[in-house]
């Protein structure tokens, strides 16, 4: 028969042992993202952002976070909804990960929601992309979900405000939207904000995702002679659409896209055809924003950060790379307090705290570090006017400032908006 003392000793040793094991536990950052398939570009951007953040953290704060070594594991969701569900379920229910960062695309992000939502013990999930309202409607207010990116309506609120201020609302607008999740998610808000502003919407034309020919749809719009052509399609379709708009001589003076119009991919694909297109973005290089006053080494001035990025990756930073960097850095900061074990719930209050201006903008959510900008870019390599906006301020503030670039293009839409509450 066991003595009481022996049982107590065994119990105490087990407790101490388990604490020791937990102290050696790695802080797991799992990145479920699109590393193959149609949205592969998003996955590689998220990966680069996270890897850079972890390396910067290690060089500034050492190899550990809160006393735990850091492990980053990428998981390929293959740009496929079913795979996304399976990967998320595995990470949440079996692997018991601490923080999830990714995916990037709206369709895939929406597919990732159910396994996370259904889990009893949810890890913190920070999404550096995904604008679809499906995600916000389902989990926007759920604790432990953080979103460092604008939602669909932010795009259109921003664009329409810019249009209204610069060209007035007595204009005819024709909308082209794709039949995929992206187009369907955006059309509602584009129409709402355009109508609320008083624009005359003369046509809403649906096009097929991945179609090789949009000419019939464009031919329908040509006789209407719209002043503004407002396109709601994803990048690959947008490139082909822009080419065909040029070819069919659909000469709307104002050509509006979303994020794609600021991407190097767009520039490379379209050359001069991309001139006169306007879009939004959460990050544009060369803005000369100051370093974060509290964490200047983790969030240095944009010039320093961009220089380091270019040296490391030999390329300009993309918006989702910046988003993934910020998301990962926030996760590391949230768990920075030394702790013998990793508690997935403790950092939430910190993540939800109001923020001071960091990287150019203030926000009601710590995870919202950036802004959304309406810009037209001149892509001529020698031209320095390629990224234009105004100093940071809160709210939408059209400035009306005019800049002439090297090609004589007049850039008049210089707007800057702090999108404060991306988590809503």
Judged by the rule CB under 8 A, the positions of this chain that interact with another protein are 36-41, 44, 179, 205-208, 210-217, 219-220, 235-236, 239-240, 243, 246-249, 265, 268-271, 273
Q: What is the CA radius of gyration of the chain?
A: 23
Residue 197 or residue 206: which is nearer to another protein going by CB?
A: 206
Residue 237 or residue 306: which is nearer to another protein going by CB?
A: 237
Question: 353 near 410, Cβ under 8 Å?
Answer: no
Q: Are strands 124-127 and 99-101 parallel, antiparallel or unpaired?
A: parallel
In the complex, the smallest distance separating the C-beta of residue 186 from another protein, rounded to whole angstroms, is 15
In the complex, the smallest distance separating the C-beta of residue 422 from another protein, rounded to whole angstroms, is 26
Bridge partners (DSSP) of residue 375 are 279
In the complex, the smallest distance separating the C-beta of residue 148 from another protein, rounded to whole angstroms, is 23
In the complex, the smallest distance separating the C-beta of residue 45 from another protein, rounded to whole angstroms, is 11
Query: What does the block give as tokens for 363?
Result: 């926000």
Helices 106-118, 181-197: inter-axial angle, 10-degree rounding: 100
Residue 201 or residue 206: which is nearer to another protein going by CB?
A: 206
The backbone torsions φ and ψ at residue 406, rounded to the nearest 5 degrees and listed phi first, read -60, -25
Residue 93 or residue 215: which is nearer to another protein going by CB?
A: 215
Question: 152 near 187, Cβ under 8 Å?
Answer: no
In the complex, the smallest distance separating the C-beta of residue 272 from another protein, rounded to whole angstroms, is 9
In the complex, the smallest distance separating the C-beta of residue 323 from another protein, rounded to whole angstroms, is 18
Block residue for tokens 């926030």: 330
Q: Using CA atoms, how far apart are residues 278 and 378, in angstroms rounded to an integer?
A: 11
In 81-136 the beta strands, taken as DSSP E runs, fall at 99-101, 124-127
In the complex, the smallest distance separating the C-beta of residue 246 from another protein, rounded to whole angstroms, is 5
Residue 179 or residue 307: which is nearer to another protein going by CB?
A: 179
Query: What does the block give as tokens for 295?
Result: 């964490």
In the complex, the smallest distance separating the C-beta of residue 48 from another protein, rounded to whole angstroms, is 12
Bridge partners (DSSP) of residue 232 are 177
In the complex, the smallest distance separating the C-beta of residue 196 from another protein, rounded to whole angstroms, is 24
Q: Using CA atoms, how far apart are residues 290 and 358, in angstroms rounded to an integer?
A: 8
Q: Using CA atoms, how far apart are residues 150 and 263, in angstroms rounded to an integer?
A: 17
Question: 77 near 103, Cβ under 8 Å?
Answer: yes
Helices 40-61, 302-313: inter-axial angle, 10-degree rounding: 110
C-alpha count within 13 angstroms, C-beta hemisphere, residue 375: 25
∠ Cα 254 407 400 (to 5°): 50
Q: Are strands 172-178 and 228-232 parallel, antiparallel or unpaired?
A: parallel
Residue 25 or residue 205: which is nearer to another protein going by CB?
A: 205
Residue 121 or residue 265: which is nearer to another protein going by CB?
A: 265
Question: 32 near 100, Cβ under 8 Å?
Answer: yes
In the complex, the smallest distance separating the C-beta of residue 211 from another protein, rounded to whole angstroms, is 7
Helices 40-61, 319-334: inter-axial angle, 10-degree rounding: 40
Residue 259 or residue 305: which is nearer to another protein going by CB?
A: 259
> Residue 259, Cα to own-chain centre: how many angstroms?
10
Residue 235 or residue 368: which is nearer to another protein going by CB?
A: 235
Q: Which helix (H) or strand (E) element contains residue 191? A: helix 181-197
Residue 249 or residue 311: which is nearer to another protein going by CB?
A: 249
| Count of C-beta atoms within a 10 Å radius of residue 7 | 10
In the complex, the smallest distance separating the C-beta of residue 91 from another protein, rounded to whole angstroms, is 23
What is the chain's length? 424
């Amino acid at each position: 028969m066991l003595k009481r003392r022996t049982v107590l000793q065994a119990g105490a040793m087990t407790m101490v042992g388990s604490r020791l094991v937990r102290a050696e536990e790695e802080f797991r950052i799992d990145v479920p993202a699109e590393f193959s398939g149609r949205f592969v570009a998003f996955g590689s951007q998220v990966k680069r952002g996270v890897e850079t953040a972890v390396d910067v953290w290690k060089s500034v704060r050492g190899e550990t976070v809160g006393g735990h070594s850091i492990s980053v594991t990428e998981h390929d969701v293959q740009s496929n909804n079913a795979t996304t569900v399976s990967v998320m379920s595995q990470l949440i229910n079996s692997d018991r990960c601490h923080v999830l960062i990714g995916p990037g695309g709206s369709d895939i992000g929406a597919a990732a929601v159910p396994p996370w939502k259904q889990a009893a013990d949810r890890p913190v999930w920070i999404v550096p992309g995904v604008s679809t309202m499906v995600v916000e409607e389902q989990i926007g207010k759920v604790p432990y979900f953080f979103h460092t990116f604008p939602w669909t309506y932010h795009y259109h609120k921003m664009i329409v405000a810019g249009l209204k201020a610069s060209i007035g609302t007595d204009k005819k607008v024709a909308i082209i939207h794709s039949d995929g999740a992206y187009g369907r998610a955006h059309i509602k808000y584009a129409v709402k904000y355009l109508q609320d502003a008083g624009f005359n919407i003369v046509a809403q034309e649906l096009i097929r995702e991945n179609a090789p020919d949009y000419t019939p749809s464009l031919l329908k719009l040509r006789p209407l002679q719209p002043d503004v052509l407002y396109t709601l399609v994803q990048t690959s379709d947008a490139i082909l659409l822009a080419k065909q708009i040029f070819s069919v001589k659909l000469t709307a003076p104002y050509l509006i896209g979303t994020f794609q119009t600021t991407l190097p991919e767009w520039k490379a694909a379209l050359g001069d055809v991309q001139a006169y297109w306007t879009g939004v973005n959460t990050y544009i290089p060369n803005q000369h924003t100051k370093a974060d006053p509290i964490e200047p080494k983790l969030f240095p001035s944009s010039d320093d950060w961009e220089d380091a990025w270019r040296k490391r990756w030999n390329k300009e930073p993309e918006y989702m790379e910046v988003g993934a960097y910020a998301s990962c850095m926030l996760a590391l900061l949230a768990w920075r307090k030394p702790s013998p074990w990793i508690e997935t719930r403790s950092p939430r209050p910190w993540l939800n705290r109001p923020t001071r201006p960091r990287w150019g903008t203030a926000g009601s959510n710590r995870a919202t570090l950036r802004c959304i900008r309406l810009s037209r870019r001149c892509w001529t390599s020698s031209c320095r006017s390629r990224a234009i906006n105004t100093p940071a301020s809160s709210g939408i503030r059209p400035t009306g400032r005019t800049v002439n670039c090297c090609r004589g293009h007049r850039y008049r839409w210089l707007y800057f908006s702090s999108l404060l509450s991306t988590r809503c």
